[in-house]
Structure 1
Amino acid sequence: MAVSPPVCEFGAKAPAFTLPDPDGRMVSWADIAGPRGTLVMFICNHCPYVQAVIDRIRRDAADLQKLGVGVVAISANDVSQYPEDSPGKMKAMAKEHGFTFPYLYDESQEVARAYGAECTPDFFGYNAAGELQYRGRLDASGRNPAPPDVRRELFEAMVQIAETGQGPREQVASMGCSIKWKV
C-alpha cells in the first residue's frame, strides 16, 4: 500500500542511533554525520518504489558525499514477513548497486519510530547542526523512474542545506511502500 509521510518539521533534531550493518559492524549517527549536513534514508530491498530509483539514490548519495554531506540508509522492515529485506540480502543489494554509504538494519524498529519514518523510501535531510530541513521526495519518480532529465529535488535540497543550513520551504512528500511493522 502506498504511503506519503507528513511534511517537514523544520528544526527537529536528528535522533541519535547505533545500528549494525549487514556484517554486524555498529555504526552511529556520529560516524555518518557530515560536516555540511546529513541524509538519512529509510529504504528496503523489496519495495518497487525503491527499486525504481535505487540507481538515482546511489548517484545522488555519492554526489552529496563529495560535498561533505553524510549519508546512511536504514532498513526497518520485519524480515520474518519480508525475508528479501534480511541483512544478507541488504549486503548483496549494497554491493550490486555500489553503495558508498552504510546500509544499516533496524531490527527493533526503534530508530524508524524515533524518526517517524512511514514509507520506503523516506528521506530526512539535516543541516550541519542536526536540524531537519528536508522531508521530501527524491524526484518525480514513483513506482517507475521519471525521465533521465527530471529535476533532482532531494539532491538540490541537500545542496541548499549544505550551503545555507536551510532547506527549501516548498517540498513534495515522498511516496512509497509502508514500513512493514512487526505485529
Structure 2
Amino acid sequence: MAVRPPVCEFGAPMPDFTLPDPDGRMVALGDIAGPRGTLVMFICNHCPYVQAVIDRIQRDAADLQKLGIGVVAISANDVAEYPQDAPEQMKAEALKHGFSFPYLYDETQAVARAYGAECTPDFFGYNGRGELQYRGRLDASGRSPGDPDARRELYEAMAQVAETGQGPQDQIASIGCSIKWKA
C-alpha cells in the first residue's frame, strides 16, 4: 500500500545519529553533513518505488554533493520480515548502483522515528544550519520511472537550499512503500 508522508515542516531541526554501514563501520551525521546542506534519504532494497528511481537517486546525490550538500541513505526496515533489506544486501545494492554516499542500517528504527520517516523513499533536505527545508519527492516517478526528462524536483530544491539556505514553498510529497516497522 502506497504511503504519502506530510510535506515540509520548515525549520524543524535535523536529528543527530550514528549508525553502522553494512560493514559495521559507524558513521555519524557529522561525518556526512555538508557545509551547504544535508540530504537524509530513507530507502530500502525491495521497494518498487525506490527501485524505479534508484539510478536517479544516485545521479542527483552525486550532483548535489558537488554543490556542498552531504548525502546519506538509511534503511530502517524490519529485516526479519524483509531479509532482502539486510545489511549484506544493502552493501550489494550500493555497489551495484555505485552509491557516492553512505548507506546505513537503522536496526532499532530509532533514527527513522526521530525523523518521522514514513515511506521509502522519504527525503529530508536540510540547510547548512540543520533546518528542514525540503520534504518532497525526487520527481514525478511512482512505481515505475517517470519520463526521462522529468523535472528534477529534489535536485532543484536542494540546489536552491545550497544557494539560499531556503527550500521552495511548493513541494509535492514523496510516495512509496511504508517503512516496515517491527512488531
TM, length-normalised to structure 1: 1.00
What residue in structure 2 maps to residue 58 of structure 1? 58
- Please report how far the alpha carbon of residue 98 of structure 1 lies from its aligned counterpart in structure 2 after TM superposition: 0.1
Per-residue CA distance 1:61-80 (angstroms, 9 max, x = gap): 00000111000000000000
SS at match of 2:41: strand
Per-residue CA distance 1:107-133 (angstroms, 9 max, x = gap): 000000000000000000000000000
What residue in structure 1 maps to residue 181 of structure 2? 181
Q: Which residues of structure 2 form unaligned runs of 5+?
A: none
SS at match of 2:84: helix
What residue in structure 2 maps to residue 90 of structure 1? 90
What residue in structure 1 maps to residue 103 of structure 2? 103
- Please report how far the alpha carbon of residue 164 of structure 1 lies from its aligned counterpart in structure 2 after TM superposition: 0.2
- Please report how far the alpha carbon of residue 12 of structure 1 lies from its aligned counterpart in structure 2 after TM superposition: 0.3
Per-residue CA distance 1:17-47 (angstroms, 9 max, x = gap): 0000000000011000000000000000000
Tell me the C-alpha RMSD between the 2 structures. 0.3
In structure 2, distance between residues paired with 1:37 and 1:25: 23
- Please report how far the alpha carbon of residue 7 of structure 1 lies from its aligned counterpart in structure 2 after TM superposition: 1.1
What residue in structure 2 maps to residue 153 of structure 1? 153
Report 1:19-30 matches (<5 A). 19-30=19-30
What residue in structure 1 maps to residue 36 of structure 2? 36
Q: Which residues of structure 1 form unaligned runs of 5+?
A: none
- Please report how far the alpha carbon of residue 151 of structure 1 lies from its aligned counterpart in structure 2 after TM superposition: 0.1
SS at match of 2:177: strand
Report 1:108-123 matches (<5 A). 108-123=108-123
Q: Match of 1:143, as an amino acid?
A: R
Q: Match of 2:109, as an amino acid?
A: Q
Write out the 4+ residue segments of structure 1 that deviate beyond 3 Å after TM superposition.
none
Task: Tell me the number of residue pairs that the alignment of Structure 1 and Structure 2 aligns.
Answer: 183
Q: Does 1:75 align with 2:75?
A: yes
Q: Does 1:124 align with 2:124?
A: yes
TM, length-normalised to structure 2: 1.00
Percent of residue pairs identical: 81
Q: Match of 1:118, as an amino acid?
A: E
